[in-house]
Structure formats: structure tokens, C-alpha cells
Structure 1
Amino acid sequence: MYQPLPFDITLIDSGLMGKETVACYLIESQGEFAIIETGNYQTSPRVEQLLEQKQISKDQIRYIIPTHVHLDHAGGASVMMDAFPNAKLVIHPRGARHMIDPSKLIAGAKAVYGEEVFNETYGEIKPIAEQRIIVAEDDDSITFGDRTLVFRDTPGHAAHHFCIWDETSKGWFSGDTFGIGYPIQDTPKGRCLFPSSTPVQFDPFKQKQSIQLMLSYQPNYIYLTHYGAIEVTKEKGEYLCQQLDQYIQLAEAQPEGKATGEAIEPLLMEHTLTKIAEYGCSSDREAIKKAITMDIKLNSLGLAIWYEKYLVG
């Protein structure tokens, strides 16, 4: 459930969507702490258990930071804000209103998942008081202890997405911008990543620009929400950008009016399984397919929605 990492970072398995699927991170500096990503309502008790083990007071949590407001990242924010009374929520400018009034987020998620599944997965999502929210514009920063985190606007996956640069570790907390890579995708040359193109604001051109911005910092690590800490090279980022180009080509290859999520999904699944195998992954193909099925379903829908907008101009 917990994995200590270098540079006073702890990886916490949120438990959302199964084991080693959605991560959040506890960062320490001189007795002060920040939490990046919030999972769902079941994640906060896991964080509290870790704090108890480490003999950390709840009052020492200074910041709670979802990278964007998709519910696998921000769904547990209100529960955490209740649990940690001294914490401020740091959020992208386009996401703040959804934390203050989450009704549209809730309605959208219920439309996708159905009310029963939504309630089981996310529970009650409550409004967060505006005075407890910090809106982080592009290149804003926060400091706790002697550690500074810098927020960079990284659209492409979503317009309300920032990534967080940690100079201490020379690493990015990447949300969904730098792709998806579960442990089952490990290879002798590192983890194979694939893009996240979920609805409804996916834009492959903006996402490539965001990846290039991240690479310009010459990072040593990427802290993936899906899932875990990986060493990063320029080549890994370029490989993601190449896949985004291939996503575009896949959509363009569909007959006119036929580039739907349902039509794209089997093609994108085969494409992704092939790329993972070509990268040197020896994991069982069916096990990989099971692990990425929901991602591919959402990626296909997001790609189809983007392509329809792209054609319109």
C-alpha cells in the first residue's frame, strides 16, 4: 500500500480501481507535508493510516494538490480537506469552480457510470470552501519547509490540468499528461508508456507541446498517477509524442463519419498491445489487455470526440 521513495516522497496506492492503478504521493520537507492526488473517498483513510505510522500530525499537512479535476484525481479532495483542517487545496484555474461547486462534475460522472456505480466508487463529494482554495496559475509556486513546487499549465489531456515540478527530486508529478504506465508494462529498458486521451478535452497537439515543456526541464523522474515513479529520458517522451501522432493517423484512417469510440476501440487496443510488446515487455498479453481495457475504452472515446471537433475546424 505504501512505497518509500528517495527525496522524502512516499507513494500511496489509493486503492481506487484496484491494486497499483491510481497513486497519490506524500511529500515531506522539514516536518511539513503536501499530498498530490486524492483518489476517492476511500483514499484518505489510507493516508491517515500512513501518517499514524510515521507519527505525523494531521495539522502538518499544508497542501492537497489534485493535478486536475477528473474524479480519479480529485474525487477524494473534499474528504481530505475535512480530514486535514490546516490544509489548502491547490488547483488549476479552470478547475477551481468545480471544487467550490462539484455539481457538474458529479452529474457528468453519474451520466457515464450510472448513479449506483458512482455512489459506490466516489461516495459523497462535497463543496470545498473558496477561502481554503489556492488557484495556481502557470509558473506559480508554493513552498513548504525548504521545498518548492512549481505549477506548469499542461493542457492536452484536459484544459484544467497542471503538472508539478519538484526541483528537489528533479521530477514531475505528471497526472495524466506524461501517459499511463502500470507495473505490468515494465521492460528491461524501463516502463512502456502510452498516452491518455480520455474525453472530453483531449487535444494531441497541445499534449505534445506539454510533453516537450516537461522534457525541457531535463527531469530525472516522472511520478505517474497511473502508476508509480519511473526514471525518464528524452527518448521516452519522444516515444509518447510518436504515439500521439499515431493516434491522429488512426482516427484519420477511419471512413468518413465512422470514427466513433466503438469503431476505434479494437484498433487502439491492438495498436497499444503491439507497441508494448515491441518495447520489450514480456508480460502476458491477456493480462496487459485486462489491465488497460478501461483506459483504452476511454482513450478511444476521447480520440473520437477530438477528431470530430478537429474536422469541424
Structure 2
Amino acid sequence: MPKPTDLGRSISLIELYDLGMEKRTGSYILHENELAIIETSASPSIPYLLKGLDVLKIDLKEIKYIIVTHIHLDHAGGVGLLLEKCPNAKVIVHPKGKRHLANPTKLIQGARAVYGNSFDKLFDPILAVPENRLISKEDGETITIGENRTLTFFDTPGHAKHHFSIYDSYSNGIFTGDTIGVFYPQTKDYGFEFVLPSTSPNQFNPDAMLKSLDRIEQLGVDIIYFGHFGKSENPESIYEQIRYWLPKFVDAGEKVIEEYPDAQVEKKIAVITERLLLVVSTFLSDKGIEASNEVYKHIKLDMQICSMGIVDYLEKQK
């Protein structure tokens, strides 16, 4: 297990091995007089998070806030389990996600529908968060951590309606969860940074996603901290890539639905996945990234989930 990564500005990143994959998800630890954690991943990741906190010599009693950008299980599924270890912590969540952390029944049902027999291995257990330990933050509200750091919460739908992004005054950075994409650090070794939109079901909306991107861009941040995985100090490149790829994703979905109007949903998802994989793989191959590179394993998984969200969105538009 790698040691936590010092990202500067009193922020550390702990690798969480979501789905058993490296550089998939991480928790950001904000080191101030009042400690905060952003993102927990799913419950099977909590042992890695606890080990990382131990390496950082953080007493769990000192953690004041556990913050989740949204309630999808790969970001918040482990929050109840972690909270049991952190007696003085409160959980901060988007107002539309609060009730689902207090009663995760629908979260569990939704994930079971997507992941089937793999659910228990990937996500179990999902523990309810006591109501008295939940805090919701409306758009523009803030908290202060220590003497130098103010966090501002911005409602940023597109990936999900229960999603906020968190602006950090100390680093002039923003924690974006999945709103403006998945970041693939594997490509850094080839001299470029790569990001793709995250269009997973069932609240994906491309127009809302682009509006959220515009809003983040207007903040003039220097750093973007992604839910998947790591940071970029080239925000303009990130915005440009999302604006390039998002219409291509939606267009691929529209063409498949037009070509296969009477096909089962599973067929449409499979064809969209195949086409997205082809165009993305061709792009990366042209950049010199071999087919054996680990990044393709991540992208194959992501394109399947993205295709599900694209079909769901387009069917709703009918």
C-alpha cells in the first residue's frame, strides 16, 4: 500500500483501491486545527483509509468533518462505517442527499440493480448515518477549518442532482467529485493529462453538467481535485476536454438509439459502450499509449457505466 501523497497546501491524498483498482478513488485529508476528510469511497475501502490516517498520525477523535461530494456509493458508501470510528465527526452532504444517508435503502436498491451479484463484494456494508450527525450545505454556504481555510459549497448538478463541489480558499482549488469528469493519472507518464465526462445513471444531464463546468471555470481556480483520481493544475485543459468529449458521448448515444429503435436497453448500452471504447482507445493509441496500459481497464469500466447513463438520459428525453 503506498503512503499518503502530500499534495501541498496541507492536503494529503489517501489511495482507497475502489473495486480493487489502483488510482481509482481517494480521500482528501485537510490538515488543519480542525481535520476534514473529503470522500470516503465504499465500505471495502475504509480499511485503507484508516491505515492512511494512521500513517499520517491522525487521531480519529480529532476529525471534525467528513464531507461527501455526492451520495453515489463509490464516494459515500463507506461514510457510515467510517463515522463509527470518528466519535466527534459530522457528515456534510448536499441537501438532496441527506435523507438517503440517513436511510440508505434506495441507494442500496439502485446499486443492486446496476451491480447485481457483485453488490455485496463491492459495497457491503452500507450503514445509516444518524440524523443528528448530518449537516447539509446549501449553495454558497461555507465552513471555516482552522485559521486559513474556508470551504464554500456550490451546487453543481449534471452528474447527479445531489452533488456539490467544494471550493477551498487556501489552495484556490476545488473538489469536483464527478461533476467535471474522471481524471486518468496513468496518462501523465506520456506527457499529457486526460479526463472524460462521467455520465453514469440516473441523473445525468449534459446541459446541467456544462452549466456546472461554466460555474467552476468562473471561480478561476488553480487546482482541480477529482473524485477519480488525483489533482490537475491545468484547469483550462480539463474544461476544454470535457467540452470536447461530452457532445461526442451524447451524439454516440443518439445515433445508436436512432439505428436500433426497437432494441432492448441492454443492446443499446452494449453498442454505445463499444463505440465509445473505440473512439477513446483510438485517441489514446494515437498518443502512444499501448493497449496493455492500466488506463484501459479503468476506461472500459467507465464507458459501460457512462453508456447506461446516456441511454437513461435519452430515453427520458423522449
Give the distance between the partners of 1:252 and 1:65, measured in 2 at CA.
Answer: 36
1:275 aligns with 2:278: no
85-94 or 254-263, larger mean C-alpha shift: 254-263
> The residue matched to 1:79 in structure 2 has which SS?
helix
Name the residue aligned to 1:137.
Answer: 138
Contact 2:190 2:289 in 1 (8 A): no
Deviation at 1:277, TM superposition (A): 4.3
59-68 or 286-295, larger mean C-alpha shift: 286-295
Contact 1:185 1:193 in 2 (8 A): no
Deviation at 1:296, TM superposition (A): 0.4
Name the residue aligned to 1:302.
Answer: 309
Unaligned runs of 5+ residues in structure 2 are none
Contact 2:27 2:49 in 1 (8 A): no
Which aligned runs of 4 or more in structure 1 are off by greater than 4 angstroms?
none
Contact 1:184 1:283 in 2 (8 A): no
Contact 1:193 1:240 in 2 (8 A): yes
Residues 175-221 of structure 1 deviation map (CA, whole Å, 9 limit, x = unaligned): 11121122223265531111100011111111011111111111111
CA RMSD of aligned residues (A): 1.7
Alignment of 1:12-161 (within 5 A): 12-17=14-19, 18-29=21-32, 31-115=33-117, 117-146=118-147, 147-161=149-163
191-200 or 33-42, larger mean C-alpha shift: 33-42
Q: Structure 1 pair 49/248, CA: closer, same or farther in 2 (3 Å)?
A: closer
286-295 or 93-102, larger mean C-alpha shift: 286-295
Name the residue aligned to 2:167.
Answer: 165
Count of equivalent residues: 307
Give the distance between the partners of 2:127 and 2:77, measured in 1 at CA.
Answer: 10
Name the residue aligned to 1:289.
Answer: 296
Name the residue aligned to 1:262.
Answer: 270
Contact 2:159 2:198 in 1 (8 A): yes
186-195 or 287-296, larger mean C-alpha shift: 186-195
Contact 1:194 1:272 in 2 (8 A): no
> The residue matched to 1:169 in structure 2 has which SS?
coil
Q: Structure 1 pair 232/32, CA: closer, same or farther in 2 (3 Å)?
A: same
Name the residue aligned to 2:253.
Answer: 251
Give the distance between the partners of 1:189 and 1:286, measured in 2 at CA.
Answer: 18
Deviation at 1:82, TM superposition (A): 0.6
Name the residue aligned to 2:228.
Answer: 226
Q: Structure 1 pair 168/293, CA: closer, same or farther in 2 (3 Å)?
A: same
One-letter code aligned to 2:100: H
> The residue matched to 2:283 in structure 1 has which SS?
helix
Name the residue aligned to 1:215.
Answer: 217
Deviation at 1:161, TM superposition (A): 0.8
Give the distance between the partners of 2:299 and 2:181, measured in 1 at CA.
Answer: 12
> The residue matched to 1:159 in structure 2 has which SS?
coil
Contact 1:183 1:227 in 2 (8 A): yes
Give the distance between the partners of 1:189 and 1:54, measured in 2 at CA.
Answer: 31
> The residue matched to 2:43 in structure 1 has which SS?
coil
User: If the length of structure 2 is used for normalisation, what is the TM-score?
Assistant: 0.91
> The residue matched to 1:190 in structure 2 has which SS?
coil
231-240 or 7-16, larger mean C-alpha shift: 231-240
Give the distance between the partners of 1:44 and 1:265, measured in 2 at CA.
Answer: 31
Contact 1:66 1:73 in 2 (8 A): yes
Q: Structure 1 pair 205/276, CA: closer, same or farther in 2 (3 Å)?
A: farther
183-192 or 203-212, larger mean C-alpha shift: 183-192
Determine what percentage of the aligned residue pairs are the same residue: 35
Give the distance between the partners of 1:304 and 1:253, measured in 2 at CA.
Answer: 11
Residues 85-109 of structure 1 deviation map (CA, whole Å, 9 limit, x = unaligned): 1111000111111100001111121
> The residue matched to 1:181 in structure 2 has which SS?
strand
128-137 or 186-195, larger mean C-alpha shift: 186-195
Deviation at 1:253, TM superposition (A): 2.2
Q: Structure 1 pair 125/25, CA: closer, same or farther in 2 (3 Å)?
A: same
